[in-house]
Structure formats: C-alpha cells, structure tokens
A and B are shown apart, each in its own frame.
Chain A
Amino acid sequence: MLNRRHFLIATASATALSARMSFAQDTKMLQVFIDGDTNISNWWNDIIKPAFEAAHPGYSFNVTITRGVGDGNATIAQRALAAMQSGTDPQVDYFEEFEPAKIAGSIEAGLWQELTTANVPNLSMINPAAPDTPIRMPYRGSQVLIAYDSAKMDAPKTFADIVAWAKANPGRFTYGRPDKGGSGSNFVIRAIHEANGRDPAAFTKANFEAAKAEEMLQKAWALLKDLHPFTFGEGTYPAGNTPALQLLAQGAVDMIPAWSDQALQAMNQGVLPETIKVAQLQDLALCGGFAYSAIPANATDLDGALKLANFMLSAEMQTSCVREIGGFPGISWDNLPPELKAEYIDVIPVSIPTYPSGDWQTAKNDGWYKNVATNLVRE
C-alpha cells in the first residue's frame, strides 16, 4: 500500500516537474496581479495577453485577480515586502495598479523598481498631464463623467445644474459613497472644488493641515448636505461604481456620476437605457486619474516585467486602452494615430483635475461619513 502510494506520488511529481521544466524552457510566465474591476481584468486576459505573447515570443503572463480578496494588491505587496526581507521569491512580477505609498516602509525598503526611459524606453512618450514619481508608471486613465437620461434633461454643464435638477426631481439623482468607488469619490471631490473656488491646485499632497482642511471641507459638506435629502432614498448612497450604475440601469435614478470607461462599456453592452448619455462639466471637469502600475524590484522576472511595462506604453496597447475599455491613454495623444485623436476629440479633456492621495483622501472620506451621510439617522 505504502509503496504503491509512494510510487504514485513520485511519478506524479516527476511528471509535473518535467512538464513544468519543459514549459519553463519555452515560455517565461510573468505573474500579474489585478484588483481593478472586471473590465480591466478581462481586457488583460482577452486582449493584452495574446498581443504580448505575439510581440514577445517566449513570454506570457498569468493574471491573478485579487479584487475583493483581503486588501487586494496591497496584500500581495505586503508579501513581496516580506519576501524581500527574507530573500525569497515574491511570486509577483507586475502590479497592474498599485499605490506604493499604501504599504508603509515599502518605498524606504527599496521594494519598488525605479522606472526610467533607460529601462522602459516608451516612458519618453508619457502624457504630460500625468505627473509622477519613478516608482509607479501611469499607463491608463479614466475620468468621471455625468451619465444622464437625455430624454429627461439637457446635458448638465455645471455643478449648479446638477444641484438644481436634483432638487427639482427629488430622488432621481445619486452618487456612490466616496470610499467605495471613484465615481462617488470624484463627485464629492468636485463638490470640494466647487466650494473652494474651483481650484484643484489648492489641494496638494504637501499642504494638508488638519485645521485648514476642516475649514475647507466644511464648505463642501454644507453643499452636499443641502443636496442630501434630494438624492435617491433621501441619502442612501449606493456602495460602489457598479451599484450606482445598476440604479441607473434599473431606472431608479436618472443621473449619476460614472467612470468614463464603465459608462461607455455599459452603454456598448446595452445594459443602460438607450437615452442615457454622458457629459463632462464645463466649468471644471470632474476628476480623473491614472492607474499606476508598479513593479517590485525583487520581481521573479524583473527583465520580463520591464518588457511588459514598455509594451503597455506602446501605441498599439494605448490605442487598445481607448478603444476597448473607454479609458484615456497614459502616453500623450500626439503619439497615437491621428484618426483616433479626431474621433475622441470631444472627450479628450483639456485638463484632468486631480486630488491628492493620503491625508486629503482620508479627510474627505471620513468627513463625508461623519457630516453628510449621518444626516439621515440624526434628523
């Protein structure tokens, strides 16, 4: 019995090992981790993967979806940091999207590979609207738009338009909770901008100061509290980008802020009513942002990971980003085919307002929960 079992285990593992080895000789598998929404992971699996394999024979990658598992990619980054400290294999090559600052001490420990034009040549084409540090690489962006039912209203042009329409049509507008998805978050940020002279430059990572922030944010809370009783369910904000789109799709509301990519995809799939259109505010656009990829310096196959990074910034993949997922490119539009630029001229933003991460984000989320959302239970 025991012999037979040993024999079986030995043969099985030998077969597995040889299969693995022969496979390893042919193809180097990069480990890519994604915690973004389904549209992103599908895009990587269905489109990027075959294109990358064709462009770089001998390379492929395996996508692991960490969305909703533990703390998403942060958990894997923690693991990579631990592996670095113990000198073991981190089993990760590429984070599709990650904010290195999220893991305290990881930057100081040198966990993140510096990306420059020396190791990622295509970085020379990067979109000037995407400022950045060399340890994270902006490679796709999206912006929050207002999705609205064109049968019921004209395109809202200003923040005041939204408020006025919402008040005239109680319960027909809503936005997601600011910590549960960027669409709601950037609407709240837009309110913060609205209440502070529409000047995104007034908020920088370095200028956070608790007392001053409290004062600046209070003005935004007043604005949103005023809107609160007129939102769907009198302030029952949906818990994420998709739940907000779902309310729009079910006809429960007529206007929401939505990510450009998710809204366009939902419209293409016919999930949203045909009368739904998207618009950008004209007085100051809603925030957008870039998704930043990051590569751990101790990546199992660092060379391959850098190849993948460079490939993602190629005109081919950047065009795919616009066409397939309704994103906007990480490289400047001048480096893309002119016909693409002409086609999308109306949605190409002049500026992409941003809002700093870190303390300002925390103050925004906490402040919203404590000042705006609680209104419901304490009336």
Chain B
Amino acid sequence: MVDDLTAPVGSRGRGQMMGQGFAGLALVAAPLVLLIVLVLFPTVSMVANTFHVTGEGGRAFSLAKFAAFFADDYSVENLRYTLVWTVISCGTALSISLGLALYLRFSEGRIATMIHALSLFPLFVPAIVISYAMVRFLGPNGLFQLLLEKVGFTGYTTPYLTPVGPYIAFVWESLPLPVLVLSAGLAQVSDHAIEAARDLGAGPVRIFSQILLPQLKRSLLIGFALIFLGVVGSFTVPYLLGPPAPEMMGVYMQRTLGNMRPEEAQVQAVILMAVAAIVGGFYIATMLRNQRSR
C-alpha cells in the first residue's frame, strides 16, 4: 500500500508531464517556502551556532560546546538512558505490532476487525491523556493495584515514576503506525507463495522465517524508524511518568531551557537531531531503494 502511493502511474506525453510539473511546483511552492523560512532556516542557524563560540576575537569555530556535553556525566547518562529505553520500547512495540499484523493478515471476521480498530485506537489518544490514565490505573493505590489485591496479590510496586512507566506508555502509544505499515507489507505477500510452501510441508515457523520475514524487512525498518523517531524526542510521557533522573532528552532539554541556558539546550537538541537523522536516514534510504527497485 505504501509502495503503491509512490509508484508512477503509467506513461504520459511529454507536454502533459511539463504542464503537470509546473502545476506541481506551484502547489508545492507555498509549503516549501514555509518550511524553509520557519523550519530550515532556524534549524540551520541553530546548528551553526552550536559549532561556534563567541570570545574576545569574535565568533570562531569550535567544538567546545559538544566537548562540554560529553564531559558531563549527567548529560551523557541522560543520552544513554534515552537511547536505551527508546530501543527497548521500539523492540517491544515492533514485536507486538508484528504479532497483530500477522494475526490480521490471516484472520477474517468481526473479531479481527475489532482488533484492527483497537490497535489503531492509540493514534487518537493524546499523550497527556495516556499519561494521566496511567497514573490513575497503574499508579500507587490505583485500579490495577486494587484489582490485584482483590485476588490476594499484595506485592505490587507501581511503575509510575520509574523507567518502566514511560516504557509502557510508549509501547501502547507506538502500536498503530507499525501495525499499518506491517499490514501493508504483509498484504503484498501472495497467498500462492504461502500455500505452495504449506503444500511442501512447511510449518508456520518456517513460513514466517523464510517467506514472510524476507519480504517484510523493508516494512520492519520503516516501522522501527517511525517508532524510534516518535519515542526518542518525546516529552509529555517521560515528563509525567518517568523518574526524576536520568531524564529523557526531551525533558532534559526543556529543563535546560527553563534554566535559561539556551545554548546548552541547543547542543542537546543538535545531538538528539544527529541521532534522529541517522535513523531518519535509514528510513529515507529504504524508501529510495523501494523506488529504485521498481
């Protein structure tokens, strides 16, 4: 499905293409200008700023600000914490959505439709609602704990204000997009291939690892990138549910800015941007490879 959207539609006359090109350019011009003025320009100037220091001799190129970040144990710990929990959240969310997508690929009927709708539900719930719902449900003396105590389990400690709190919310929040992407990927696997494999005696594990997985690689990568980019820069969920320290980079940046140290916040932002750019690069490379293979 995702691929279909980017596929060229038939062949057209040269003149028609030219006309369409101009119309297309005209259409894209306004958002492009907006993007350049409001996003690209401030970003570039900010990134440039982090690589310079203003001293007696005026502005000079320097890596001092980055050196200061990496020399500070607390900052590095925050970065490490952010990356570790982002990857863990990605892994969990991706596995669960793969399971859901597989189920949806091979099931039909009412229940499957309901599960499909349910898996997309988090898409429509704002992060702050999830966070407060989590506090009420999983928090101390919350509904979950009361239910456990009803059945005699008293050893519950709440994940609220620990790294597990935001982790649960991240996984829940991140399900819909990968489910969509993976479902689209699975829809492209032909029934014939699977049936042929079955006829030759392949079990479900073998069908999954040798037929489905190779064809899903791209979708998995896209799914991973989507979750990663969403989680790594998140703010609300770790702010409300996470531990005081270490902090996710989003929360840390906000605090640095709140402490009136915009230059340090900029460095933190650029470092996070670099991380996101690597993953975003994978995503774009995958998309490009898609188009070229056509």
Contacts and interface: CB of A to CB of B under 8 A. Distances in A.
A362 interface: yes
B161 A376 contact: no
Contact of A179 (B139, B157, B160, B255): B255
Nearest to B165: A236
A369 B239 contact: no
A365 B259 CA distance: 8
B140 interface: yes
A237 B247 CA distance: 13
Contact of B142 (A179, A250, A373): A250
Given A179-B258, A362-B259, A369 B244 contact: yes
A246 B161 CA distance: 13
Interface string A231-271: 01101111100010011001110000000000000000000
Contacts of A373: 243-245
A102 B253 CA distance: 17
A238 B161 CA distance: 7
Contact of B161 (A102, A233, A361): A233
Contacts of B247: 369
Given A252-B141, A374-B246, A71 B257 contact: yes
Contacts of A237: 161, 244
Interface in B111-147: 135, 139-142
Nearest to A358: B260
A246 B158 CA distance: 14
Interface string A353-372: 00000100110011001100
Nearest to A250: B141
B162 A236 contact: yes
A252 B259 contact: no
Contact of B139 (A104, A250, A361, A362): A250
A179 B161 contact: no
Nearest to B257: A71
A250 to B, nearest CB: 5
B259 A366 contact: yes
Interface residues of B, number: 26
A211 interface: no
Nearest to B244: A373
B41 interface: no
B61 interface: no
Interface in A329-379: 358, 361-362, 365-366, 369-370, 373-374, 376-377
Interface centre among B140, B157, B261 (most CB of A within 10 A): B140
B103 interface: no
Interface in B212-242: 239-240, 242
Interface in B244-283: 244-247, 255, 257-261
B261 A362 contact: yes
B239 A102 contact: no
B74 interface: yes
Nearest to B135: A246
Contacts of A238: 161
A310 to B, nearest CB: 31
Contacts of A236: 160-162, 243-244
Nearest to A249: B141
Nearest to A357: B260
Contacts of A358: 260
A358 B157 CA distance: 38
B244 A247 contact: no
A235 B244 contact: yes
A190 interface: no
A253 to B, nearest CB: 8
Nearest to B238: A239
Interface string B150-171: 0000000110111000000000
Interface centre among B77, B135, B245, B259 (most CB of A within 10 A): B245
Interface in A24-78: 71
Interface centre among B135, B157, B243, B247 (most CB of A within 10 A): B243
Contacts of A235: 244
A177 interface: yes
Contacts of A251: 140-141
A362 B261 CA distance: 9
B140 A250 contact: yes
B255 to A, nearest CB: 5
Contacts of B74: 369-370, 374
Given A179-B259, A369-B74, A252 B140 contact: yes
A365 B245 CA distance: 12
Given A252-B140, A365-B259, A177 B244 contact: yes
A171 to B, nearest CB: 9
Contact of A239 (B139, B239, B257, B258): B239
B156 to A, nearest CB: 12
Contacts of B240: 239, 243
Given A233-B161, A239-B239, 9 more contacts: A71-B258, A177-B244, A179-B255, A236-B244, A246-B135, A247-B140, A358-B260, A369-B247, A370-B74
24 contacts: A71-B258, A233-B157, A233-B160, A236-B161, A236-B162, A237-B161, A238-B161, A239-B242, A239-B244, A243-B240, A247-B140, A250-B140, A250-B141, A251-B140, A251-B141, A252-B139, A252-B140, A365-B255, A369-B244, A369-B245, A369-B247, A374-B245, A376-B243, A376-B244
Name the 6 nearest CB pairs between A and B, nearest first: A236-B161, A252-B140, A373-B245, A373-B244, A362-B259, A250-B141
